[in-house]
A and B are shown apart, each in its own frame.
Chain A
Amino acid sequence: MTVSTELELQSFVLLRLGERRFAISANQIAELVAPSRVFRFPHRTPKLEGVILRRGRIVPVCDVSEMLLGKRLASRRFYLIAVRNYGAQREWVAVPVSGECELIKAEMMAAVESDAPHVAGWLSHDGDVIEVLNLDTLTPGPEQVVAEAAARQRPEARL
């Protein structure tokens, strides 16, 4: 069996953040909606802007552009509502995107150890190599607080 026969075509949603394109596995996407009012209230979780109301649900809005591009989006065209896993629990999270989204089928190359934690894999499309995002590491959650606390307790490396 060759490597190419082991790979299967999967569905991905291509999204645009600024000048770059990223992909998310299509089975993680709930819907694409027009920007609506963001309700803001005090909190201490970085990257979360607030929440939107969608079909009676309260959905957190998480701008991932700063982490991926190093700057916030100048304009938002849609919110991509995606499923985020928290252990056995799953919840929606709204990710602002700056352009049209596209559904494609492609083969994903698995991420390697040297890739950033938010990279679930890579795919090739229209001559571009595109990062497939792992929203579970890209958006905040309780496991990150545990990791931060562990890092704080770890003694600093000394020369």
Chain B
Amino acid sequence: MRLASPLKASPAKTEQIILFRVSGQLFAISSASVQEVRSADSMSGGATEISAPGLRKVRHVLRRGDRSLFIVNGAMHFGLHVAEGSLLFVLRRTRTALLIDGIDKMSAMTRLQALPLSFCHEERQWYRGLTALDQTVVPVVHPEGFLSPEELTLLDAALLQADKTASEDPEGTNSAQ
């Protein structure tokens, strides 16, 4: 039985990718999707706590002017064993800063295979596809896949509530009590 090849025979175009780890698991992301790489420690001063009901993967938000970046714990997002992340990827054209363990290496991928159709749940939003590198298969993450529009709405509501509470109690006297 023959199937149409999923790989087109066009000249190989390469895409620069960053291989990174979350809870020991290897992932790839297009380097063009990463705006900044920062140490998680360097962000600790500027991040404020946030709590949206049912959304445990986001605990902090970074304010940058009028823009808010939600820090997504990569391990919680993927349902992996939760570990302390040490690096943040600020993802371009998103409101996500992704907390990861660390960067493995930079590489280039020539082929991105669509996620097989058997994978039919949330992972279809998480991944752009799979790539084979050095006889290993690595999922290539979708930068927009870390926070859905519904989750962003929840987070914005939580942010609004936090701002309201802060403006009503600027010195934090209620929380101190």
A residues sitting closer than 8 Å to B (CB atoms) are 27-30, 39, 41-45, 48, 51, 53, 56-60, 62, 83-84, 86, 89-93, 139-142, 144-145
Contact = CB atoms under 8 A, between A and B. Distances in A.
Interface string B14-29: 0000000000010100
A84 B118 contact: yes
A142 B79 contact: no
Contact of A142 (B1, B120, B135, B137): B120
A42 B25 contact: yes
Interface string B129-152: 010100111110000000000000
A62 B1 contact: no
Interface residues of B, number: 26
23 contacts: A39-B137, A41-B137, A42-B80, A42-B126, A43-B122, A43-B123, A44-B79, A45-B118, A45-B119, A51-B130, A51-B137, A58-B113, A58-B137, A84-B117, A90-B3, A92-B3, A93-B118, A140-B118, A140-B119, A141-B118, A141-B120, A142-B117, A142-B120
A141 to B, nearest CB: 6
B12 interface: no
Contact of A91 (B27, B78, B116, B122): B116
Interface of B: 1, 3, 6-7, 25, 27, 78-80, 113, 116-123, 126, 130, 132, 135-139
A135 to B, nearest CB: 10
- A interface, by DSSP: helix, strand, loop or mixed? strand
Given A42-B78, A83-B1, A51 B116 contact: yes
Contacts of A139: 118
A-B pairs with lowest CB-CB distance, top 5: A39-B137, A42-B78, A44-B121, A43-B123, A60-B118
Contacts of A42: 25, 78-80, 123, 126, 139
Given A60-B119, A86-B117, 16 more contacts: A30-B1, A41-B27, A41-B137, A42-B25, A42-B123, A43-B122, A44-B79, A45-B121, A53-B137, A58-B130, A60-B116, A84-B117, A90-B3, A91-B116, A93-B116, A141-B118
Nearest to B137: A39
A89 B117 contact: yes
A43 B25 CA distance: 12
Contacts of B25: 41-42
B137 A91 contact: no
Given A42-B25, A56-B7, A27 B1 contact: yes
Contacts of B138: 41
A83 B3 CA distance: 9
A45 B120 contact: yes
Contacts of A92: 3
Contacts of A43: 119, 121-123, 126
A145 B116 contact: no
B4 to A, nearest CB: 8
